Structure 1
Amino acid sequence: MNTTLQYIRYCIGALVLLLAGQSVKAQTESDALMIPKNYFCAAGIYTHNSWDHYWEGTFKRENLNLGTVSSNVFALGGNYGLSNRINLLFMVPYVKTNVSAGTLRGQQGFQDISLAFKWMAVKEEVGTGLLSLHAIVSGNIPVGNYQADYLPLAIGMSSKSIALRGLLNYQVGRFFVAGAGQYVRRDNITIDRDSYYTTGMHYTNQVAMPNMTNFLFSTGYRSLKFNAEATLTRMNTIGGFDITKNNMPFPSNNMEATAAGAIFKYMFQSIPGLEFTAGGNYVLKGRNYGQNLSAFGGVYYVFAVKKDKSE
């Protein structure tokens, strides 16, 4: 069998984790597969998000001055196999936001470049299956000159961040179950005003951003031709405050979201190295967060950068 065809399935999961670290609306980080040494995966991903209800604190409501809030995300990324156990990844999204009612206008532009180092620390046979443990260090650096203090239409939070994730995967035959936990450390951001009010008055243009945690559970089916998985994700900021009544969101709000989703991947055997993927997720419950419905699709292509001398 063609080596590239065998390895095409290793591309998508690692790449979309870079988007997933930013919010629940961005697919999954559950894939424990690695791209092999000296292979590169190039990816283009499109995501559409929309919501017309949101949680103001824990109170679910709609806002007729906003109507439906939506965003379109066009992302380009890559994943390189430094070794069979170490992958280097990057992703750059271009985001455009919009509302269907009222006088506010959306933003558009490049958001943050995401970089990640993924290490498969353990791979062992346990019982009738294969157990793997991964450690992922990732970070975001804003690249666009966008205004974070314009929620819910800001294209990002404009905060530098670094995150550490642990991922445990157990696979028996073609079926697997996985769990992941992540801690995100976020830097302060600068906003375009000299004072602001949260639970008290702040006479500064610096906003202390609460750190975040992300947890994920997934299960599904993997083969060389077709993959399908279901996911459940929980995101929570550590601290922050609730949106006040009839007010706009603020970057340092306490944001929580629980989302359920699905991912489907198809690998073309007639075109080695080519993969299509599609899926989506829906926010079931939140706090200071929109009840977002997300749908995404992507095209991926894996190729050998150079031949491994051991082959």
Structure 2
Amino acid sequence: MKHCLQYISRYFFAILACVAFTQSVSAQTENDALMIPKNFFCAAGLYTHNSWDKYWEGTFKRENLNLGTISSNVYAVGGNYGLSNRVNLLFMIPYIKTNASAGTLRGQSGIQDINLAVKWMAIKQEVGSGLLSLHAILNGSLPLGNYQADYLPLAIGSRSKSVGLKALINYQTGRFFVAGSGQYLRRSNITIDKDSYYTTEMHYTDQVALPNMTNFLFSTGYRSLKFNAEAVVTKINTIGGFDITKNNMPFPSNNMDATSVGAIFKYSFQNVAGLELTGGGSYVVDGRNVGQNKSFFAGVYYVFSVKKDKSDK
């Protein structure tokens, strides 16, 4: 019985670690302190719906009847492999379709970027009545699709290559936890289909320098072998950029900031080891040059061993 419970627990923690990476396509976050065990793989499928009809033009909140409601549907596949009990390798590939409910702008669709990450649990130790862990995550993205980046707000991505470094700290006592993370993200220049463009000055080039970004997260909630619930607050900030000019379209190098609140729920099937469903949503409560987005997601995850351990025989 003891061995059986240990085996079920390994599946449970592995699934949670997989969910953390694939819950958000835009931020590419790895926000769960739980790790996939060595020689286990988590396969994930995720659907996300985003929509907004109001946005911030600089700091001025407005709507545009020529756009109506901007929406996107995201279909993503991903995975998380336990290279060791302290090192995980993660990937995600999303297919995105965008739409505007009014006006003449047509949505885009296609494969966006491949998102890759290496997650290292540097510290794990008992502190007081709980368990403290510290993680370092190196992540990055490469564009896969030949989509148009300067077609905001209907572009499916920025076509920028990126690399980021994140620190994550988590403290759990009993079934309750609190976690926080901070990340710095560098983004490469992109090439657009224009020979010149205007920001706050004229640029006679097809190269656009995107501002780098930071993002911070705070989460707290309840974890058990069967059910999990957590509340999440995130803040994304570009370091530089310029505001959308009056009645103009957004541009990839705008200063885009957003603060959002959300919730995540997870359910593990006790009679099917390794299978879990997850769902949740988020809402942008404050921003700059971004839409006031409402997001809902649902996903299915399955964890399995790719190499049998002697202890599992």
Paired letter, 1:245? K
1:60-90 CA distance string (max 9 Å, x none): 0000000000000000001000000000010
- 1:228-243 aligned at under 5 Å gives the runs 228-243=229-244
Q: Which residue of 1 aligns with 2:278?
A: 277
Distance in 2, matches of 1:309 and 1:186, equals 44
Q: Which residue of 2 aligns with 1:148?
A: 149
SS at match of 1:163: strand
Paired letter, 2:303? V
1:10 is displaced (CA, Å) by 2.8
Q: Which residue of 2 aligns with 1:10?
A: 14
Work out whether 1:42 is the aligned partner of 2:43: yes
Distance in 1, matches of 2:143 and 2:22, equals 14
Paired letter, 2:232? T
1:8 is displaced (CA, Å) by 2.7
SS at match of 1:164: strand
Paired letter, 2:234? T
Distance in 1, matches of 2:264 and 2:191, equals 36
1:307 is displaced (CA, Å) by 1.3
Distance in 2, matches of 1:30 and 1:273, equals 20
Q: Which residue of 1 aligns with 2:67?
A: 66
Q: Which residue of 2 aligns with 1:304?
A: 305
Give the conservation status (yes or no) of the 8 Å contact 1:56–1:243: yes
- Structure 1 stretches of 4+ with a deviation exceeding 3 A read 12-23
Paired letter, 1:5? I
Work out whether 1:119 is the aligned partner of 2:137: no
Q: Which residue of 2 aligns with 1:286?
A: 287
Superposition CA RMSD, Å: 1.4
Distance in 2, matches of 1:189 and 1:195, equals 13
1:49 is displaced (CA, Å) by 0.2
Distance in 1, matches of 2:219 and 2:172, equals 12
- 1:76-225 aligned at under 5 Å gives the runs 76-225=77-226
Distance in 2, matches of 1:49 and 1:13, equals 24
Q: Tell me the matched-pair count.
A: 308
Give the conservation status (yes or no) of the 8 Å contact 1:36–1:84: yes
1:15 is displaced (CA, Å) by 4.8
Distance in 1, matches of 2:147 and 2:227, equals 39
Work out whether 1:248 is the aligned partner of 2:249: yes
Distance in 2, matches of 1:115 and 1:142, equals 12
Distance in 2, matches of 1:189 and 1:12, equals 35
Paired letter, 1:56? E
1:4 is displaced (CA, Å) by 5.0
SS at match of 1:11: helix
Paired letter, 1:241? F
1:4-28 CA distance string (max 9 Å, x none): 53123432444543664734xx7x6
1:165 is displaced (CA, Å) by 0.3
Identity among equivalent positions (%) equals 73
Give the conservation status (yes or no) of the 8 Å contact 1:9–1:267: no
Gaps of 5+ in 1: none
Gaps of 5+ in 2: none
Work out whether 1:22 is the aligned partner of 2:26: yes
Distance in 2, matches of 1:3 and 1:102, equals 57
Distance in 1, matches of 2:187 and 2:193, equals 19
SS at match of 2:141: strand
